[in-house]
Amino acid sequence: MKVTSSRLEDRNRTTVAVELSSLSKPPVFEITSTENISTHGARIVTQGSWPTHEPVSLKSLQGDLRSQARIVYCETLYENKFAVGVELVSPMGSWKRWAVSPVEGPTEKNLARTSAPSLGSCGKTIKKIGIAAILLLIALFVFWPRNYAGRFVRRPGTNFALDNKTSKPCRISGEKTPTGIEALTCRFRRSCYVPSDVAGNPIPLCSEIAEAETHKEEVLRRFVGAGMLALFGIYIAIRH
C-alpha cells in the first residue's frame, strides 16, 4: 500500500524496528518503529519529542541500513507519542530482510533476532556446503550397497562356513532355520533336524544372516529417509 503526497517519491506503509540516535547529544537514543519508509526518508513514531533539523543517526534493526539523517518535522500524535519525519543522508543498506507484523512493531523477539551475529554471504555459503556434505555422507552410509562376498569362508569338506563378522558358523545349504513355535516343535519332538552349536542354538543358513541384515538396513533406510524429509520440511517452514 502506497502513501501518496507531494514528495518526489512515494513511501510504503511498513513497520520496521529502528534505533534513532542524536548526533549532537550521543547519550540520547530511542528504539522504536517506522510508520512508513522510502529509500530517502521515513516517518517514525517516537515516545519523545525531537527538535527540527536535529542531526541524528538511524539504524534499522531488521536489515543492514545505516545512515545519518536530519529531523524534518515532529508532530504530536497524543500524549507521549510523536510522529517524526526524517530525511536520510547517504543511506547504505536495506530497511529489512524479513516481514514483521505492523501491529506488533519491534517486539523483544524481533529485536533479539536482529541482535544475533551475521555470518555474512561467505559464512552462509560455507554453512550450506557443510550441511550438504553431512547429508551426503549420511545418504552414502545408509544407501551404499552392501557386498557380502568374502564374508562367509567355507570350511573345506563340510557344509559349514565361518562368518568373518561375528566369528560364528553358518550353514551353506540345508533346511531353513525354524523360528518361533516351529523351533519349539523341532526341539521337543525332534521332527526336523538342524545342526546346533555347542550352546544348543540352531546354526542358521548363511543366506538367512544376509537376508536378516538386509532387512535391518531397509528399515534403517526408511527411518533415516523419513527423518531427513521431516528435517527438510522443518527447515523450509522456518525459512518461510
| pLDDT mean across residues, the chain | 77
Domain end marker among 52, 87, 115: 115
With cell 556434505, the residue in question is 133
pTM over 0.85: no
Range of the domain at 34: 2-115
Instruction: Read off the pLDDT of residues 164-208 as tens digits, 9 standing for 90 and up.
Output: 888 888 988 887 887 767 666 666 655 566 777 666 677 888 888
- 93 Ramachandran zone, left/alpha/beta (phi>0; psi -120 to 50): left
- Confidence (pLDDT) at 116: 47
Asked if the structure places residue 126 within a domain, the reply is no
User: Is the domain of 6 the same as that of 110?
Assistant: yes
User: Is the domain of 161 the same as that of 227?
Assistant: yes
User: Is the domain of 156 the same as that of 111?
Assistant: no
Instruction: Read off the pLDDT of residues 8-25 as tens digits, 9 standing for 90 and up.
Output: 567 788 899 999 999 887
Asked if the structure places residue 142 within a domain, the reply is no
**CATH at residue 78:** 2.40.10.220
Asked if the structure places residue 167 within a domain, the reply is yes
User: Is the domain of 81 the same as that of 158?
Assistant: no
Share of the chain above pLDDT 90, in %: 22
132: amino acid identity, one letter: A
* Residue 192 Cα distances to 171, 184, 197, 200, angstroms: 16, 11, 16, 15
Give the chain's domain count.
2
| Whether pLDDT at 157 is above 90 | no
Asked if the structure places residue 133 within a domain, the reply is no
